[in-house]
Amino acid sequence: MYRRRFLGLLCEAAVIAPLVFQIRTASASLDKVGVNSETLSAFLDVLIPKDETPSASELNIHKKIISHAYRIENYIVLLEQGLAWLDRQSVTYFMKPYAALSTREQERVTYLASTPDAPSIVQLFFSRIKNDALFIYYTQPESWKGMIESPPQPYGYPDFQEIG
């Protein structure tokens, strides 16, 4: 993007962009329900589960998303509506709220949210929260294992000429 600043802006732009237009068009008929932080935490752990690096909840990404949400117009509404939809689908298919499902079941409901068949607000919820959660998660040094060991300075990359 540059040319230089083209592409660099893309990550950050998405994270801080207001949601005014999308929410208005997508959610006109939906009611306010409140952010269910248990559902959010479970949802983020499905997107970013634990393996050799921590899960999203171990790094408190759900809390960071909620505090981030208060700074962006309509973000809370998006969270509320998206999480409520996950819970409704969970009850419909498995008779339990999302947070109470097995990982397998959660993955199936999450998959529904990720497809073009989901309502537009849910698609927006899925792509935006996923993007922002990944952005915040990969800002945490605990997530960098297997990629980089530390911030680029003060050591730099003395091996920069080596392929591999």
Ligand X SMILES: Cc1cc2nc3c(=O)[nH]c(=O)nc-3n(C[C@H](O)[C@H](O)[C@H](O)COP(=O)(O)OP(=O)(O)OC[C@H]3O[C@@H](n4cnc5c(N)ncnc54)[C@H](O)[C@@H]3O)c2cc1C
Q: Which stretch binds ligand X (CB under 6 A): 2-10, 32-40, 70-78, 136-144?
A: 2-10
- Cβ 49 to another protein shortest distance, Å: 6
Tokens encoding 18: 């207001």
Provide the 10 A C-beta neighbour count for residue 92: 9
Q: Which stretch binds another protein (CB under 8 A): 7-15, 24-32, 67-75, 77-85?
A: 7-15
Provide the 10 A C-beta neighbour count for residue 90: 23
Cross-strand pairs, 2: 4
- Find the binding residues for another protein in span 104-163 (CB under 8 A): 107, 110, 114, 130-131, 134-135, 137-141, 143-144, 146-148, 151-163
| Straight-line distance from the first to the last Cα atom of the chain, in angstroms, rounded to the nearest whole number | 26
- Cβ 6 to another protein shortest distance, Å: 4
